[in-house]
Amino acid sequence: MAEFEHCWPAIGHSASMTHGADRLVDESAAPSADRPSWGQASDAALVEAARAGHTQAFDVLVERHQRAVYRVCYRFAPRHEDASDLTQDTFLRAYRALGSYRGQASFKTWLYRIAVNAGLSRVAQRTPATELLEEGHLTSNALEQTDIDIDRHRRAVKVRAAIDRLPPRQRAAIIMKVLNDQSHEEAARALGCSVGTVKANVFHALRKLRHWLGES
Amino acid sequence: MIGRHLTRERLLAAVDDIDGSDAPHLLACARCRDEVASLRAVLNEVRDLETPEPSPLYWDALAKRIGAAVRQEQHAPAPRRAWAAWFGWASGLAVASSLALLTFAPGQGPSVSLPQVAGIEEIDLVTSTDENWDLLVSLAETGGPWTDEDAVNPPPGSVEQLVAELTDEERTTLVRLLESERGVQ
C-alpha cells in the first residue's frame, strides 16, 4: 500500500472514489506528466489501484501477463480462438476475485492458478479440441513439407492427444512443470498443492505418456 | 555395487538432470538407467511441443477485448447471489437467536419480551445437519482458508466465498454470534 500511495498519492483519498460493484474510475488519478506511468508500477501497486476502481491499472496487468496466461491456456485449449476465450475468462475471474488477493503469492502465480482452474473446468466441460490436429487436418500444403516434417507433426499430434488423456491433476502438473518450464516449487504454488504432489503427478504422467506413446 | 533402485523422487531428479549424485548408481544399474532414459525421452517430446506465437498485433487486440469485458462487467448490475439470500437468513436467525438467549437466559440481560418470530423456534441450531451451517461455523472458528490461492477456488455463492469477504470485525462478530448459538462460553 505504501508503494501504491507513493505512486499515486491522489488515489484512495479522492472523495469521488467508491468501492465494490459501483466502482468509479477517478481519471484525475490516472498517470500524467507529473506522475509515474502505470506501466512502471509494480503488480502489487496496480492491483491496489485496480481494486480502487482504476480499470486502467488492470489493463496494464493484462498487457503485462497476457502472453504467459495465453501460453498456459493454449495447453488446455489448443486452438487459438479457444485459448483466447480462456485467457479472457482467466482475467475476468481474476478481476472479480481481486478483493480476495492478499499478495502472499505473486500476481503472476495467482493468475496461473486461475488459468489452470479455468483450463481444468474447460477440459471437464468439453471434449478436447484435438480434432483439428488429426491427420485429415494436417496442413493443406503438406505436399510441400518434407517427410521428416510430416512425421514430426504426426508425432506431435500423438503427444498432444496423449496429454489430453491424462487425468486433470497430472495434466495440469505436466503443463506447468514441463510445458511452462516451471520448477517444482513454482508449479506447486500455481497448482495449490505440495511439491511432493507435483512430483508424483509429473512422474505418473510421464509413465502414462511413455506407455501410450509406446503403444502408438 | 548397485544397491537399491532409485526412488521415484530420485528418478525424477535424474530425469531432470538436477544433480549428478545418482550417476554412479545409474552407471551400474541398467534398470534405473533405462527408466531414466525412457522417461527423459518422453519429457523431451512433451517439452518440444510448440506453442504457436500469435501475431504481435494480436496482443493489443486481446488486451482491448479483455479491457472491454472488464468494463462491461464493472457496469453490469450486480446479480443477487445465492449466498446473499442465505446470509440474510442466517444473520437474521443468528441475531434473533442471540437476542432470545440474552432475553431468556437466567440472570442475564434485561427482561424484555420480544415478539415471537414465526418458524425460528422450530430450528434446532445445535443439532443442525445443515452442511453449510457447519462449514460456516468451522470457517469462522478457524479463520478459514484465507490464502490467495484458496480465495480463487470458492465458487461464487459458496459459504467460503461469503466468509472470505467479511471484514475482521464482521468475522469476530460472526464468531461471537455462532458461539452463543452453540452454547460455547
**Which DSSP string corresponds to B117-133?**
PTTGGG--STT---HHH
Burial of A154 (0-12, 13-18, 19+ CB in 10 A): middle
Q: CA Rg, chain B, in Å?
A: 29
**What local confidence, expressed as pLDDT, does residue B96 receive?**
67
Give the model confidence (pLDDT) of A189-199 as tens digits. Answer: 999 899 999 99
B151 → closest Cβ in A74, A84, A97: A97
Smallest CA-to-CA distance from B3 within B26, B20, B19, B21 is with B26
Q: Which residue has the higher pLDDT, A85 or A130?
A: A85
Query: Which residues 28-87 of chain A have a CB within 8 Å of chain B?
Result: 55, 58-59, 62-63, 66-67, 70-71, 74-75, 80, 84, 87
Give the model confidence (pLDDT) of A82-96 as tens digits. Answer: 999 999 999 999 999
Query: Are B18 and A177 within 8 A, CB to CB?
Result: no
**What local confidence, expressed as pLDDT, does residue A91 receive?**
96
Q: Which residue has the higher pLDDT, A110 or A24?
A: A110
**What local confidence, expressed as pLDDT, does residue A25 receive?**
44
In sequence order, what DSSP letters do the residues of A44-77 get, joined into one string? HHHHHHHHTT-HHHHHHHHHHHHHHHHHHHHHHS
Smallest CA-to-CA distance from B70 within A55, A38, A135, A105 is with A55
Q: Which residue has the higher pLDDT, A176 or B2?
A: A176
Q: Which residue has the higher pLDDT, A12 or A206?
A: A206
pLDDT along chain B (185 residues), means of 10: 80 83 88 93 91 88 94 68 57 66 55 44 40 52 44 54 71 78 62
Q: For residue A63, what is the nearest residue in chain B, using CA coordinates?
A: B63
Query: Which residues 150-179 of chain B have a CB within 8 Å of chain A?
Result: 150-153, 156, 164-165
What average pLDDT is seen over chain A?
78
Residue of A27, A59, A86, A176 to mutate, testing the B interface (most B Cβ within 10 Å of its Cβ): A59
What CA–CA distances, in Å, run from B66 to A30, A92, B152?
19, 8, 19
Smallest CA-to-CA distance from A89 within A128, A51, A52, A62 is with A62
pLDDT of A140 > 50? The answer is no
pLDDT of A202 > 80? The answer is yes
**What local confidence, expressed as pLDDT, does residue A137 receive?**
42
CA A61 to chain centre: 12
pLDDT of A1 > 70? The answer is no
Structure letter (DSSP) for residue A144: G
Q: Which residues of A touch B72 (CB under 8 A)?
A: none
**What local confidence, expressed as pLDDT, does residue A150 receive?**
81
**What local confidence, expressed as pLDDT, does residue A24 receive?**
39
Q: In the structure grid, which three cell numbers stand for residue A121, read together?
A: 473446468
Give the model confidence (pLDDT) of A147-160 as tens digits. Answer: 777 888 888 889 99
Cross-chain residue pair A91–B66, CB shorter than 8 Å: yes
Percent of chain A exceeding pLDDT 70 equals 73
**What local confidence, expressed as pLDDT, does residue B172 receive?**
78
Q: Which residue has the higher pLDDT, A180 or B99?
A: A180
**What local confidence, expressed as pLDDT, does residue A181 receive?**
87
Q: In the structure grid, which three cell numbers stand for residue A66, read together?
A: 497476457
Q: CB distance from A114 to chain B under 8 Å?
A: yes
**How large is the ipTM?**
0.72
Query: Are A21 and B78 within 8 A, CB to CB?
Result: yes
φ, ψ of residue B171 in degrees (nearest 5): -65, -40
Least reliable range by pLDDT among A89-93, A113-117, A126-130: A126-130
Identity of the residue numbered B147: T
pLDDT band of A28, cuts 50, 70, 90: very low
Cross-chain residue pair A92–B54, CB shorter than 8 Å: no
Q: Which residue has the higher pLDDT, B142 or A52?
A: A52
φ, ψ of residue B31 in degrees (nearest 5): -65, -50
